[in-house]
Amino acid sequence: MNGDWLLLGRDGRLSVYLPTGDAALWRAERVPEGAWEAPRRLGGDQALRPGLAVGRGPDGYAHLVAWRPTGADRSGLVHTTHFRPLLAPLDWEPAGHPNKQGDRTGTPAVAVDAQGRAHVFVRNGGGGLSMVAQKEKGGWDPWRDLKGRGVQEAPTAATAETGLVEVYAPVPDGVLHWRQDKAGARPVLGERLDAAVRPGTLRALATSAGHTTVLYTDDGTGELCAWRPGGKPTPLVAAAGPGPVSAVRCVIDGHDCTVVAQRSAGSGRVAFAAYPSELEEMGAAWTESGPALPADATVSLALDADGRLVAAALSPSSGQLHLTRRKDEAGLALGAWQTV
């Protein structure tokens, strides 16, 4: 999964999305903070290939992108929109291929702009980054080659508070960054970060009115680091485990904070850390919570309809979904984990 897979719908219910075999499943709360529906298949009966990406628009709609096989050694990207947690998503619809045709080229990323248009980013066959965006009245614009060289798995996309889309992609010894300068414009390749970035660990989010921040693991030191274009990368804390962290901004004791979570490779439990947003130099410390989880478990963070932090942990091998919410107490106090 590329992107946070625990999302809040516009009706106040939470949903989770997960790839499984040749399909993708979703579950949703029957009522806010209530029991959960049984898993259901996303977007019809089409078979999918690995590499599901998910993003949430400002309207609360979920956008999902995946590869589907189209023939021998051929694949194409497909997209579906999920409007409300208790309604079935639309069927998968073709979004094309960055090289017009060919096999799967990489794991996609998706972000949704202020107008509700999905922007899909994926490595192309030449090793650069390509993008396709929805038209405001339906359909897709032509594919755009955003250039760049040596793009690796997997890019991460975010929507800034301005409603403009930004994307980060790992390359050998660094990260490339693209940013829109106005709505609907082609994102422009800008500053490059030179760092020992571990591929597959990038996660981006809006952290203030003027910035997005990308989090990644330094492959040399094993530290979780943060970078904003125009500045220098800042080590935050030693990564708790492999892969990307989940991250969300929330208010803790009246302060704008960024919370990160990751399955600990040591204990198998979920590790949480919080720090004042964009003040990574203050550092952070992990606090573990919940049961020990299988090695394939991932974590996702979201805010519920009341603005409370919610964490979900899911293991594809066990099929169990675990949830916890922040308690109405000072600090990052979490309630008892529940299995649903």
241-296 pLDDT, tens per residue? 998 999 999 999 999 999 999 999 999 999 999 999 999 999 999 999 999 999 99
pLDDT at residue 44 above 90? no
Looking at residue 33, its pLDDT comes to 92
> Quick one: average pLDDT of 237-243?
95
Return all residues near 302 (Cβ < 8 A) that are at least 6 apart.
4, 6, 7, 8, 14, 248, 309, 310, 312
> Quick one: average pLDDT of 165-183?
96
Query: Rg of the chain's alpha carbons, rounded to an integer?
Result: 19
pLDDT bracket for residue 83 (50, 70, 90): very high
**Taking a C-beta distance cutoff of 8 angstroms, is the pair 265, 242 a contact?**
yes
Looking at residue 79, its pLDDT comes to 96
pLDDT at residue 316 above 90? no
**Taking a C-beta distance cutoff of 8 angstroms, is the pair 95, 78 a contact?**
yes
User: 280 — phi, psi (to 5°)?
Assistant: -60, -25
Return all residues near 12 (Cβ < 8 A) that are at least 6 apart.
32, 304, 305
pTM for this predicted structure: 0.96
CA atoms of 319 and 218, how far apart (whole Å): 31
Looking at residue 317, its pLDDT comes to 81
Looking at residue 46, its pLDDT comes to 86
Looking at residue 15, its pLDDT comes to 96
User: 281 — phi, psi (to 5°)?
Assistant: -65, -15
Q: Calculate the average pLDDT of the chain.
A: 94
Cα-Cα-Cα-Cα torsion 203, 321, 68, 167, nearest 10 degrees, comes to -10
Backbone conformation region of residue 22, classed left if phi is above 0, alpha if psi is from -120 to 50, else beta? alpha
